[in-house]
Amino acid sequence: MKLLVSWLRELADVRLPVANLASLLSMRGFEVAGIETVEGRADDAVIDFEITANRPDCLSVAGLAREAATACRVPLRLPWDEAGRPISTARPVPCPTSSRRAADGLEVAIEDADLCPRYAAAVADVRIGPSPGWLADRLTATGVRPINNIVDVTNYVLLEMGHPMHAFDLERLAGRQLRARRARAGERLRTLDGEDRALEPGTLVIADSAVPQAVAGVMGGAAGEVWSGTRLVAFESAYFNPASVRRTSKRLGLKTEASSRFERGTDINAPVIALKRACGLMEQIGAGRRVGAVIDVYPAPRGPIEVTLRRERIPRLLGTAVDDAEVVRILTGLGFGVADTPGGWRVQVPTVRVDILREVDLIEEVARHHGYDRVPYHFPPLRAVPPRPEPGMARKNLLRRVLTAAGFSEAVTYTFIDAADAEPFADGNEPSVPLAYPLSEKFAVLRPSLLPGLIESVAHNRRHDTRDVRLFEVGACFSPSRGERHRLALALTGGGVPEHWAGGHRPVDFFDAKGVIERVGEALRLPLAFTTVTTPYLAPGRAAAIGVGTVAIGVVGQLIPAQSERRGLPGGDEMYVAELSLDAIGRLEPAGDIQVEPLPRFPSIVRDISIVVDEGLRAEPVRATIRRAAPSTLVSVREFDRYKGKGIPEGRYSLSLRLTFRSPDHTLTDADVQGAMGRIMEALAQEHQAIQR
């Protein structure tokens, strides 16, 4: 809302310099977006206020003037008679019919009073021409283009009072009628902006006896527009249902000065006052003369609401007491009717204040004008034991620690992604959850997995010349059948170890990725098992399902080159990825503290063994055979070399394992271990045709 300061000064005797006035109103909740100077007027300026959605009354000079007058403790001088407002009068007399006829044959009818509770109109005999300079200047300064004296008068009243009006060329209205009714199927209207618009049935329109002439509260029609040849004008000044205007404005994609006020709520008692103000102004500038009386169709008049304000609630909410006199001064200044009661006040709310519905709203008014800075600082006492933190969050923080310690940096990627990127990563054959109206194709569906975003982030780094990339993310994924699920994902490419002058550099491989997952398992105290798996986005033979017992918790493997290449990564660069379900982990993680094992009291004996076996044989069955054949003193089996090539027959490979034996209650002898080794070797030969090297 652009406010011309000199205009405000006309309504309230506020002499503060512009900057102080801006700051004064800002401290009362009217954010200042900018201040522009007015050419040739050093003492004037246009202050651009951001008016919050609850204060449509301040989308007007009068509304802001009332705030400024209250803040400065000066009277408000409105250029119209406030007597019509219900604060100072009894309830208006209901009008028995919903249709009235006026001078020059204008007939006004409300057919749908739920959407249009009040419709006032007046007829004027006009001479269309340009507005006088002062009026045009005020409109221009406030950002409204002058059109002709009649339209300008309605816009002037809109800016001054905040009440939107419309002017029709009466002679172009069929039957000289204005009817507030819902649009009928198939009805169309060419609006003032030249667009031919289809009107959805149910849209409130202002029609003549035949066709719609305006989209009520949003924009008038081109056919009934006031033009240079207009001789008779019908002024409309109505109250429209805010929700209805809002729906219509949204549906038509049409936001106007009028609609933005109607949809927030205008003053239901303003129509007649605004009409009189407009007619007065019209006569003042010599643009025309009202003919006959004002028509006011108002089937069910509404009175002002009354709200009780209890004295004791003010300090209970604000934490500071406010003097009674100050409370009364503020509320009265803002236009409220205030009557004393034993416990406080009975407050009559002016109908222009559509935001004031209950006691707490009044306390805010008092607080705003009393000053938030006058409320002290206090720290609330803690009266209950704070609950324990959510276990899921502690787990995520643990995983963050483990992964950063493993060289992975944390990524945060978008929750919505490209549908084509998502597709290979969806569980089963489920499609991804689409957004109804995505911002773009890039943000079309909710991610079914963290991997597409993470892979894109790896690719981003590669495109910017970072070769070694290790990223992880913790976050939510979505599926149509199961909703929101939480996961951990990681991706790595480039070097398996950081580049160093002493050498040792090698590219990442499957075991770098698996090692990290193993560490995650350790941190979570979960015994992980890796089994072969086929996954559309992982390279066959380099992919493993991760499980705990019979529960699958994730996958790890090499991303298929086609996926990396899609993101512009060099095809030769291997990227490894893994994803774990945090929901599954949450159900499996052991409860309770770690229980320490006593340190061994007796020394251990280590034996290395090298065997030659068939190429197709995996390490896991070898380990299993050893464990089965060994006595309980075998405490660990670890592979330490795998060799193929010279000295090993074609189709076979050599596997070296380190076995550690230890007894909890005595020192083992060489003879004990020798016997065990014999049995182990025998079992390996029998079960796997292993030959000792």
Partner 1 sequence: MPDAAEIERLRAEFQAALAAAATEQALREVRDRFLARKGGVIASLMKVVAGAPPADRPLLGKLANQFKNDIEGALDAKRALLESGRPVVGGVDITLPGRQAPLGHLHPLTHVRDQVEAIFSRMGYEILEGPEVEDDYHNFEALNMPPEHPARDMQDTFFLGQPVPQLGLATPGTRVSTRPAPLDRPATLLRTHTSAMQIRYMEAHEPPVRIVAIGKVFRRDNPDLTHTPMFHQFEGLLVDEGVTFADLKGTLTAFVREIFAPDIKVMFRPSFFPYTEPSAEMFIGCVFCGGDGCPVCKRTGWLEILGSGMVHPSVLEAVGYDAERYTGFAFGTGIERVAMLKYGVDDIRLFYENDLRFLEQFTF
Pick out residues in 229-268 that bind partner 1 (CB under 8 A).
Answer: 242-243, 246-247, 263-264
Of the pair 414, 653, the CB lying nearest partner 1 is at 414
DSSP string, 487-522: EEEEEEESBSS---TT----B--HHHHHHHHHHHHH
* Sole binder of partner 1 in the list 406, 683, 685, 691 (CB under 8 A): 406
CB-CB contact of 388 with 370 (8 Å): no
DSSP string, 594-655: --PPPPPSS--EEEEEEEEEETT--HHHHHHHHHHHS-TTEEEEEEEEEE-STTS-TTEEEE
Instruction: Report the chain's terminal Cα–Cα distance, integer Å.
Output: 89
Of the pair 96, 380, the CB lying nearest partner 1 is at 380
Size of the site for partner 1 (CB under 8 A): 95
* Sole binder of partner 1 in the list 378, 428, 550, 596 (CB under 8 A): 378
- Per CB under 8 A, contacts with partner 1 among 303-322 are 315-320
CB of 308 to partner 1, least distance (A): 13
CB of 406 to partner 1, least distance (A): 7
Of the pair 271, 475, the CB lying nearest partner 1 is at 475
* Sole binder of partner 1 in the list 191, 351, 479, 563 (CB under 8 A): 479
- Per CB under 8 A, contacts with partner 1 among 417-476 are 433-439, 443, 446, 457, 460-461, 464, 466, 469-472, 475-476
* Sole binder of partner 1 in the list 173, 295, 367, 517 (CB under 8 A): 367
CB of 32 to partner 1, least distance (A): 9
Q: For residue 572, state whether it binds partner 1 (rule: CB under 8 A).
A: no
- Per CB under 8 A, contacts with partner 1 among 178-197 are none
Largest CA distance in the chain: 125
* Sole binder of partner 1 in the list 306, 326, 410, 614 (CB under 8 A): 410
Here's the x/- map for partner 1, 532-561, by CB under 8 A: it reads as: ------------------------------
- Tokens for 611, please give them: 């065997």
- Tokens for 75, please give them: 């009277």
Of the pair 210, 243, the CB lying nearest partner 1 is at 243
Alpha-carbon distance 621 to 643, whole Å? 18
Q: For residue 352, state whether it binds partner 1 (rule: CB under 8 A).
A: no
Helix axes 61-72, 149-161, angle to 10 degrees: 30
CB of 47 to partner 1, least distance (A): 14
CB of 386 to partner 1, least distance (A): 4
CB of 254 to partner 1, least distance (A): 15
In terms of C-beta density within 10 A (0-12 exposed, 13-18 middle, 19 or more buried), how is residue 4 classed?
A: buried
* Sole binder of partner 1 in the list 97, 228, 429, 481 (CB under 8 A): 481
- Per CB under 8 A, contacts with partner 1 among 201-230 are none
* Ramachandran bin of 145, using left for φ above 0, alpha for ψ from -120 to 50, beta for the remaining angles: beta
CB-CB contact of 242 with 261 (8 Å): no
CB-CB contact of 490 with 472 (8 Å): yes
* Sole binder of partner 1 in the list 388, 598, 670, 671 (CB under 8 A): 388
* Sole binder of partner 1 in the list 93, 185, 500, 594 (CB under 8 A): 500
* Ramachandran bin of 197, using left for φ above 0, alpha for ψ from -120 to 50, beta for the remaining angles: beta
- Per CB under 8 A, contacts with partner 1 among 49-68 are 52-55
CA 171, 173, 175, 177 torsion-angle sign: negative
Here's the x/- map for partner 1, 7-46, by CB under 8 A: it reads as: -------------------xxxx-x---------------
- Tokens for 124, please give them: 């004027």
Q: For residue 501, state whether it binds partner 1 (rule: CB under 8 A).
A: yes
CB of 334 to partner 1, least distance (A): 13
* Sole binder of partner 1 in the list 101, 145, 190, 482 (CB under 8 A): 482
Q: For residue 373, state whether it binds partner 1 (rule: CB under 8 A).
A: yes
Q: For residue 133, state whether it binds partner 1 (rule: CB under 8 A).
A: no
* Sole binder of partner 1 in the list 6, 415, 535, 660 (CB under 8 A): 415
Q: Which among 289, 336, 310 has a CA at the least distance from the CA of 123?
A: 289
* Sole binder of partner 1 in the list 284, 404, 532, 686 (CB under 8 A): 404
H or E segment and range at residue 44: strand 41-50
Q: For residue 412, state whether it binds partner 1 (rule: CB under 8 A).
A: yes
* Sole binder of partner 1 in the list 39, 196, 390, 650 (CB under 8 A): 390
Rounded to the nearest 5°, which phi and psi values hold at 102?
A: -125, -170
Q: For residue 503, state whether it binds partner 1 (rule: CB under 8 A).
A: no
Q: Which among 160, 129, 128 has a CA at the least distance from the CA of 144?
A: 160
Rounded to the nearest 5°, which phi and psi values hold at 689?
A: 50, 40
What is the SS3 string spanning 135-156?
Answer: HHHHHHHCCCCCCCHHHHHHHH
Q: For residue 129, state whether it binds partner 1 (rule: CB under 8 A).
A: no
Helix axes 270-284, 149-161, angle to 10 degrees: 130
- Interacting span for partner 1 (CB under 8 A) from 97-105, 342-350, 375-383, 588-596: 375-383
Of the pair 360, 551, the CB lying nearest partner 1 is at 360
Q: For residue 82, state whether it binds partner 1 (rule: CB under 8 A).
A: no
CB-CB contact of 602 with 495 (8 Å): no
Alpha-carbon distance 525 to 588, whole Å? 10
Of the pair 469, 545, the CB lying nearest partner 1 is at 469
Q: For residue 363, state whether it binds partner 1 (rule: CB under 8 A).
A: yes
CB of 619 to partner 1, least distance (A): 26
Q: Which among 351, 334, 164, 166 has a CA at the least distance from the CA of 269?
A: 351
CB of 623 to partner 1, least distance (A): 28
* Identity of the residue numbered 595: Q
CB of 586 to partner 1, least distance (A): 9
What is the SS3 string spanning 274-288?
Answer: HHHHHHHHHHHCCCE
- Per CB under 8 A, contacts with partner 1 among 610-639 are none
Of the pair 310, 623, the CB lying nearest partner 1 is at 310
CB of 457 to partner 1, least distance (A): 4
Alpha-carbon distance 299 to 238, whole Å? 13
Tell me how long the chain is: 693
Alpha-carbon distance 137 to 371, whole Å? 35
Q: For residue 649, state whether it binds partner 1 (rule: CB under 8 A).
A: no
Q: For residue 200, state whether it binds partner 1 (rule: CB under 8 A).
A: no
Residues 6+ apart with CB under 8 A from 183: 199, 200, 201, 202, 203, 204, 205, 212
CB of 500 to partner 1, least distance (A): 5
